[in-house]
Amino acid sequence: QQQVKQSPQSLIVQKGGISIINCAYENTAFDYFPWYQQFPGKGPALLIAIRPDVSEKKEGRFTISFNKSAKQFSLHIMDSQPGDSATYFCAASREDDKIIFGKGTRLHILP
Amino acid sequence: ETGVTQSPTHLIKTRGQQVTLRCSSQSGHNTVSWYQQALGQGPQFIFQYYREEENGRGNFPPRFSGLQFPNYSSELNVNALELDDSALYLCASSPQSRPYGYTFGSGTRLTVV
């Protein structure tokens, strides 16, 4: 049973464009929704995270949009740059429990 | 402030052998979690140690075991290696038993032949 479903599997965006990655979850007990960025040969690094009591969180060019009733959340990368090319994972967890990751989205930004 | 360090970075083992992977947690972090990341997949939770006690385990068989030491460093042991154990093994530390503020290491790439 996949508790966090992520799409698309891969994404190609022109430099300066908006990259959008979507995730859906099943467990309404989840209360923490982080996004991780992973470069080849490296471990995942926390990019931005949101709690279900807010609908949007923005940090620089990165924004999480959260829809609690639809059990969906998404990552928007504004003004996408070649350096943003990486694999992105959405994730979810309950308090005091493990983090459950999506399968990842491989993002490629065209120069 | 040092991050999470893992050793070795790469390892090749034969099916049936045993392997020990090591992790030094970030300074000030008392919780260590281990994840397995198969090629092209998201990390899968193996188990978590908090103050030297296992306090959470994922869907992995008992041949996956671990330890946490008084300095909060940790080991992951895998017995009777199988070909499907080939993966990137990630260690993450956090300053509390909750998963907030995870810092991941770069991982150990294990290949079982």
Name the phi and psi angles at A82, rounded to 5: -55, -35
Residue with tokens 């308090």: A95
- pLDDT at position A94, please? 84
pLDDT at B73 over 80: yes
Mind listing the pLDDT tens digit for each residue in A8-66? 999 999 999 999 999 999 999 999 999 999 999 899 999 999 999 999 999 999 999 99
Mind listing the pLDDT tens digit for each residue in B76-110? 999 999 999 999 999 999 887 666 778 999 999 99
Sign of the four-CA dihedral A50, A54, A56, A57: negative
Nearest Cα of chain B lies from the Cα of A82 at a distance, in angstroms, of: 21
Please indicate if any CB of chain B lies within 8 Å of the CB of A41.
Answer: yes
E strand intervals along chain A: 4-7, 10-14, 19-25, 33-38, 45-50, 56-59, 62-67, 72-77, 86-93, 99-101, 105-110
- Strand B10-13 with B108-112, pairing: parallel
Q: How many angstroms separate the CA atoms of A50 and B109, rounded?
A: 31
Which of the four pLDDT bands, split at 50, 70 and 90, describes residue A96? low
**Which residue type does B62 have?**
P
- The chain A residue lying nearest B38, using CA atoms, is A103
- pLDDT at position B99, please? 64
Q: Return the structure tokens found at B97.
A: 């038993």
- pLDDT at position A26, please? 93
Side-chain-facing half-sphere of B74: CA atoms under 13 Å: 33
Q: How many CB pairs lie under 8 A apart between chains A and B?
A: 53
Pick from A43, A49, A104: which is nearest to B104 by CB? Answer: A43
- pLDDT at position A1, please? 57
- pLDDT at position B68, please? 96
- pLDDT at position A16, please? 98
- How far is C-alpha A98 from the geometric centre of its chain's CA atoms? 17
Pick from B4, B45, B97: which is nearest to A96 by CB? Answer: B97
Mind listing the pLDDT tens digit for each residue in B9-64? 999 999 999 999 999 998 888 899 999 999 999 999 999 999 899 988 999 999 99
Beta-bridge partners for B112: B13
- pLDDT at position B94, please? 87
- Burial (CB < 10 A; 0-12, 13-18, 19+), residue B93, is buried
Contacting B residues, span 58-97, partner chain A, CB-CB under 8 Å: 58, 90, 92, 97
